[in-house]
Amino acid sequence: MTEYKIASIPGDGIGVDVTLEARKVLDRAASLNGFSLRWTEFDWSCERFAETGRMMPEDGVSQLSAFDGIFLGAVGFPGVPDHVSLWGLLIPLRRAFAQYVNLRPVRLLPGTTSVLAGRSADELEMVIVRENSEGEYSQLGGRHNTGQPGEFVLQESVFTRVGVERIIRYAFELAKTRSGRVCSATKSNGLIHSMPYWDEIFAEIAAEYPGVHSEQCHVDALAARMVQQPDRLDVVVASNLFGDILSDLAAAVTGGLGMAPSGNINPPGEHPSMFEAVHGSAPDIAGQGIANPVAQVLAGAMMLDHLGEPGAARAINSAVEKVLADGSVTTPDLGGNSTTTDLGTAIADALT
């Protein structure tokens, strides 16, 4: 029987609860589909930071490098500044493993309470292809003239040709397997160096794909369109920061943050890819047992698909759809009063 070695990093807040439920669903899907998952758990988190002064050990990256996949809950919690916790765990892992694609598919699922509820899944299914290794997320910069009237900070962005080309090419290749449409989100009217550069490379690559319909959008106008005419979007490619913002927006219009999965993909497969929900540790509801586990479950399905188990991934997606369509077991964000465990169990039980 094939066995996959998976590193689980539940992390902080609701990350711990939703990871537990997702693992339950994944294990059952594995046994029904003739393979197994060997989990190794890592307690890397803000709690660990409080004890050791580090989010992960110094050799954390090498500890993970031999795994087939990484399953991450959420990182960050009040008490540790976000830039310390995230730059001590999540962001270094994305970079160390060259997970330069952050793939964030959304679709309207049955039984959701989206602002756009009533639309059908056919009308509302898109994927954000977010650049995940450079761009606006940069350590370059700093504070100057500290304490003086002229105090200021600089925050630099880095867009490399290799980095921009590979994410845009990934988006076009993906579009060929879907609707044949790519929209690139930039802000070339405001950011005069990085964004025109991205647009230029987008136009070059678009010319290599005459069969794919391409368009360039201003990210602000795209945000409005995502709410008002989401049916006209399919593959949306964006820089690290814009992709981050658009993916929460896309999640919101398709049922909320509790529903949106995400894959940090290393396309050549030289390193493990890492799967997590789009959402964070939700400190406002942490410890209450009411977080929606669907996003993490669907992230697990993305991981199984990536590992070469599309049958199990499809089975998980169907089980989620069945439970949501039934509507009797839903967490408060979906209008119900079930717990994280109730919903996780219902999904696991719905697997066939």
Report in angstroms how near the CB of residue 151 gets to Mn ion at its nearest.
Answer: 29
Binders of ligand NAD among 307-336, rule CB under 6 A?
333
Judged by beta carbon distances under 5 to 8 A according to partner kind, the member of Mn ion, ligand NAD, ligand IPM, none in contact with residue 201 is none
Q: Is the dihedral of CA 178, 305, 118, 282 positive or negative?
A: negative
Cα separation, 62 vs 68, whole angstroms: 13
The two tokens of residue 32 are: 């029904």
Closer to ligand NAD by Cβ: residue 15 or 230 = 15
Report in angstroms how near the CB of residue 310 gets to ligand NAD at its nearest.
Answer: 25
Q: How far apart are the first and last CA of the chain?
A: 19
Binding of ligand NAD by 82 (CB under 6 A): yes
Three-class HEC string of the chain: CEEEEEEEEEECCHHHHHHHHHHHHHHHHHHHCCEEEEEEECCCCHHHHHHHCCCCCCCHHHHHCCCCEEEEEECCCCCCCHHHHHCCCHHHHHHHCCCCEEEEEEECCCCCCCCCECECCCCCEEEEEEECCCECCCCCEEEECCCCCCCEEEECCECCHHHHHHHHHHHHHHHHHCCCEEEEEECCCCCCCHHHHHHHHHHHHHHHCCCCEEEEEEHHHHHHHHHHCHHHCCEEEECHHHHHHHHHHHHHHCCCHHHCEEEEECCCCCCCEEEEECCCCCCCCCCCCCCCCHHHHHHHHHHHHHHCCHHHHHHHHHHHHHHHHHCCCCCHHHCCCCCHHHHHHHHHHHCC
Binding of ligand IPM by 278 (CB under 6 A): yes
Q: How many residues bind ligand IPM (CB under 6 A)?
A: 6
Of 58-66, 169-177, 193-201, 291-299, which segment contacts ligand NAD by CB under 6 A?
291-299
Binding of ligand IPM by 158 (CB under 6 A): no
Binding site for Mn ion (CB under 5 A): 244
Q: How many residues bind ligand NAD (CB under 6 A)?
A: 23
Per-residue contact flags (x/-) with ligand IPM for residues 235 to 264, judged by CB under 6 A: ---------x--------------------
Of 219-227, 234-242, 274-282, 301-309, which segment contacts ligand NAD by CB under 6 A?
274-282
Judged by beta carbon distances under 5 to 8 A according to partner kind, the member of ligand IPM, ligand NAD, Mn ion, none in contact with residue 3 is none
Backbone angles phi, psi at 181, to 5 degrees: -130, 130
Binding of ligand IPM by 76 (CB under 6 A): yes
Of the CA atoms within 13 Å of residue 151, those in its CB half-sphere come to 5
Binding of ligand NAD by 292 (CB under 6 A): yes
Which residue of 26, 29, 237, 291 would you call a contact of ligand NAD, by CB under 6 A?
291
Binding of ligand NAD by 74 (CB under 6 A): yes
Which residue of 295, 320, 324, 350 would you call a contact of ligand NAD, by CB under 6 A?
295
Distance from the Cα of residue 302 to its chain's centroid: 10
User: How many residues make up the chain in this entry?
Assistant: 352
Which residue of 60, 76, 105, 272 would you call a contact of ligand NAD, by CB under 6 A?
76
Report in angstroms how near the CB of residue 25 gets to ligand IPM at its nearest.
Answer: 21
Report in angstroms how near the CB of residue 46 gets to ligand NAD at its nearest.
Answer: 8
Binding of ligand IPM by 86 (CB under 6 A): yes
Report in angstroms how near the CB of residue 94 gets to ligand NAD at its nearest.
Answer: 10
Per-residue contact flags (x/-) with ligand NAD for residues 7 to 46, judged by CB under 6 A: -------x---x----------------------------
Name the site residues for ligand IPM (rule: CB under 6 A). 76, 86, 90, 244, 278, 280
Name the site residues for ligand NAD (rule: CB under 6 A). 14, 18, 74-77, 82, 86, 90, 257-258, 276, 279-285, 291-292, 295, 333
